[in-house]
Structure 1
Amino acid sequence: MTDQPAPHPEPVYADRGSSHYDIVLTLMCVVVIISNIGGSKGVQLGPITTDGGFFLFPLAYVLGDITTEIYGLRAARRGIFMGFAMAVFAVLCFWLIIALPGFSDAYSTQHDAAIAGALGPVWQIVLASLCAFVAGQMTNSLIMVRLKARYRERGLVGRLMGSTGVGEAVDTVIFCTIAAPVVGITSFGQWANYAFFGFLWKTLVEYALIPVTTRVIGWVKKREPSYQEQLAAAGEA
């Protein structure tokens, strides 16, 4: 009688019903909302065309990487859709605030016009972010979970680098295409500049943050009882 091959162990994930998951989810929602507001402003930094949310959006991907690596694809999907549900809620609140009748004095009229000008276009940025971030983050998360299924606790840096490059490429092309008119981009050359430097910036920032990301992931894994229980059960503790 031949021996049956040992079953391939499943990758380890923590239970998302923990305080750490709540913190990461909250941070992701806040980052998405603020980056959507900042994204409505076009920014010119020398030869680089970008928007006001350029320094925040890579953080959303870092938080997505942390969520996917520790809590799995289902938890990452919940974080993505929760972040954008809150972004849509914020846009609806902005719309209501703008629509409410204000005072008629000169200061209030100017103030209300400034609010409308700043927050009015945000819904288009949210649309761009919704399409781009969902597609990019889901691509990013799918690559991470498939690589983890193969390598389990090994190769974390490779998972982060590989998923980031593909996810950010998908994200950037979709976002820049939809958001370009809001930012004030009207030519293909401007769009290409916007997309190329956006992708380059976000990818390089995420790569630069990988040492921090891996340490945060390691710190949370050690403090998640359910993760440690799963590691022990899988013989990887």
Structure 2
Amino acid sequence: MLAIMMLVVVLSSIGASKGVVIGPVITDAAFFLFPLAYILGDVITEVYGPRAAKRAIATGFLGNLSAVLVYSLIIWLPGFDDDFGLAKQAALEVALGPVWIVVLASLLGYAGGQSTNSLIMWAGKRRHQESKLYRRLISSTGAGEAVDTIIFCTIAARAIGIDNFAQWANYAFFGYLWKVLVELALMPITARVIGWTKNREPSYR
């Protein structure tokens, strides 16, 4: 689960540097990936507790920061000086250059959102034990995604090319709506994965 979460977070940072327009909706190219990180966060928190969730968040941070350093090194290394080499260098700078902004936005947004998400999940778990799982999932998803989306969209807007409040509001609103709807739609699957993991995890009590 941690490996999948890391992969989703790193790929999301690359995809989110590209703005996407679908009809009236402004989003980014990672819109279909990031809800998976929150689903995995729910499973980890429910089964392994908040400490494990914090370790997963911290590991995601390190993976993303490592990726940014690698991108910077790739851009910095001298390439061929012919037309093809110069065109490739320019393409890498345009494609990977703004990723650090997205990573900063995702780190801060993910930290705030996942911390909120895990806090609500664990508080509900302590209060209700094994019951009312869906209530915990819904409340933690709504609050966590709201915190994440506002922080992320505010910082990442520059990398995507958003330069006015109307575009930002569109980006934030539809981003939040999409994430919540996807998680709600996949909630039965999330609950089944949680139950499956609990039954097969020897450390779970």
Are residue 205 (structure 1) and residue 174 (structure 2) matched? no
Q: For residues 22 and 195 of structure 2, what CA distance do their matches in structure 1 show?
A: 36
Q: Does 1:220 align with 2:181?
A: no
TM-score, normalising length from structure 1? 0.85
Q: Which of 44, 61, 71 is matched with 2:48 structurally? A: 71
| Identity within the alignment, % | 60
Q: What is the aligned residue count?
A: 205
Aligned-partner Cα distance in 1 for 2:123–2:18: 37
Alpha-carbon distance in 2 for matches of 1:76, 1:191 = 30
The one-letter amino acid paired with 1:91 is V
Instruction: Give the SS at the match of 1:226.
Output: coil
Aligned AA (1:165): G
Alignment pair present for 1:176 and 2:135:
no
Q: Based on CA coordinates, which of the two structures has the bigger radius of gyration?
A: 1
One-letter code aligned to 2:149: T
Whole-Å Cα distance in 1 between the matches of residues 202 and 76 of structure 2? 49
Runs (4 or more) in structure 1 with deviation over 2 Å come to: none
* Among candidates 118, 127, 130, match of residue 95 of structure 2: 118
2:27 corresponds to: 50
Match of 1:15 in 2: none
Cα displacement string for residues 71-119 of structure 1 (whole angstroms, at most 9, x for unaligned residues): 0000000000110111000000000000000011211211121111100
Distance of 2:83 and 2:158 partners within structure 1: 31
Distance 1:195 1:184 in 2: 14
Name the aligned partner's letter for residue 47 of structure 2.
Answer: I
The CA deviation at 1:195 is: 0.5
Which residue in 2 is equivalent to 1:191?
168
**Structure 2 unaligned spans of 5+:** none
TM-score of the superposed pair, with normalisation by structure 2: 0.99
